[in-house]
Amino acid sequence: MRSADSGRMNRFPAAMMLLLILVSVPSSAQPYPGDLLIGDHSSVGIVDRSLGTVRTLASTSTALYSALNLASDNATVLALLATGFPQQHFVLALSPVTGKQATLVTLPSFSNLGPMRGNCPDQDGSHVMGGWYTLLRVSGSGTTTLAQLLGLGGMAAVAIDTDTRDYMVDMSSQTPPMNTLLRIDRRTQAVTTVLSVNTGHKSEALEHDQKTGHFWLPVGWSGKLTRIVLLHRTTLGIIHSFPAPGAQGIAVDQPTSDLYVAAGSSITSYTPKGIALRSWGPFPGFQGIADIRVLGHRKLAGAGTAKPGGRYWIQLCFPESPGAAYHVAASFSGLRPGIPIGNRTIHIHPDPLFFLTAGRSLPGVTTGFGGILDPAGRALASLWIPATVSPGTVVTVAAVAVNPAKPASLDLGASITFMVL
19 domain-assigned = no
Residues 391 and 273 in one domain: no
10 Å CB burial of residue 25 (0-12, 13-18, 19+) is: middle
Last residue of a domain, one of 265, 294, 323: 294
For residue 115, CA distances in Å to 5, 48, 92, 144 come to: 40, 28, 15, 18
Say if residue 198 is in the same domain as residue 79.
yes
Which pLDDT value is given to residue 308?
96
The answer to the question of residue 110 being in a domain is: yes
Q: How many helices (H) and strands (E) does the chain have?
A: 2, 35
Answer yes or no: do 89 and 238 share one domain.
yes
- What's the confidence (pLDDT) of residue 14? 39
Q: How far apart are CA 297 and CA 16, in angstroms?
A: 17
Residue 370 domain-assigned (yes or no): yes
Does residue 10 lie within any of the structural domains? no
What pTM was computed for the model?
A: 0.88
Q: What is the four-CA torsion angle of 272, 274, 275, 276, rounded to 10 degrees?
A: 100
SS3 for 352?
Answer: helix
Whether 335 and 214 share a structural domain: no
260 SS3 class: strand
Q: How far is CA 380 from the centre of its chain?
A: 19
* Structural domains counted in the chain: 2
**What sign results for the dihedral spanned by CA atoms 107, 111, 117, 121?**
negative
How far apart are the C-alpha atoms of 300 and 73, rounded to whole Å?
A: 9
Does a structural domain hold residue 51? yes
Cα dihedral sign for 311, 10, 346, 52? negative
Q: Are residues 289 and 337 in the same domain?
A: no
If asked whether residues 234 and 284 sit together in one domain, one would say yes
- In this structure, is residue 8 part of a structural domain? no
Pair 174, 79 in one domain: yes
Would you write out the chain's pLDDT as a tens digit for each of its 421 residues? 333 333 343 444 434 433 333 333 334 345 788 999 999 889 999 999 999 999 999 998 878 888 899 998 888 999 988 887 667 888 889 998 888 999 998 887 655 556 678 889 999 999 999 877 889 999 888 888 899 888 777 888 899 999 999 999 988 877 776 778 899 999 999 999 887 766 555 567 889 999 999 999 887 654 445 778 888 877 767 888 888 888 888 999 999 999 999 989 999 999 999 999 999 999 998 988 989 999 999 999 999 989 999 999 999 999 999 999 999 999 999 999 999 999 999 999 999 999 999 999 899 999 999 999 999 999 999 999 999 999 999 999 999 999 999 999 999 999 999 999 9
Q: What is the reported pLDDT for 211? A: 92
Considering the domain architecture, whether residues 146 and 225 belong to the same structural domain is answered as yes
Of the residues 294, 317, 345, the one at which a domain ends: 294
Residue 78 lies in a domain: yes
**CATH number, residue 407:** 2.20.130.20
Look at the alpha carbons of 114, 70, 193, 199 in this order and tell me if their dihedral is positive or negative: negative
Domain end point (choices 245, 269, 294): 294
CA atoms lying within 13 Å on the CB side of residue 418: 29
382 in the same domain as 326: yes
At a CB cut-off of 8 Å and minimum separation 6, what does 29 contact?
97
329 shares a domain with 252: no
Q: What is the pLDDT of residue 114?
A: 62
**CB neighbours (10 Å) of residue 194?**
16
The CATH number linked to 144 is: 2.130.10.10
280 and 407 both lie in a single domain: no
Q: Which helix (H) or strand (E) holds 14?
A: helix 14-23
CA distance 43 to 150: 31
Query: Any idea what DSSP says for residue 20?
Result: H
* Spatial contact of 230 and 214, defined as CB atoms under 8 Å apart: yes
- 4 assigned to some structural domain: no
8-11 contacts: CB < 8 A, separation 24 or more? 8/367, 8/368, 8/380, 8/382, 9/380, 11/313, 11/380
Residues 270 and 157 placed together within one structural domain of the fold: yes
Q: Structural domain of residue 175, as residue ranges?
A: 33-294
How far is CA 196 from each of CA 68, 103, 203, 215, 241, rounded to the nearest angstrom?
27, 37, 13, 15, 17
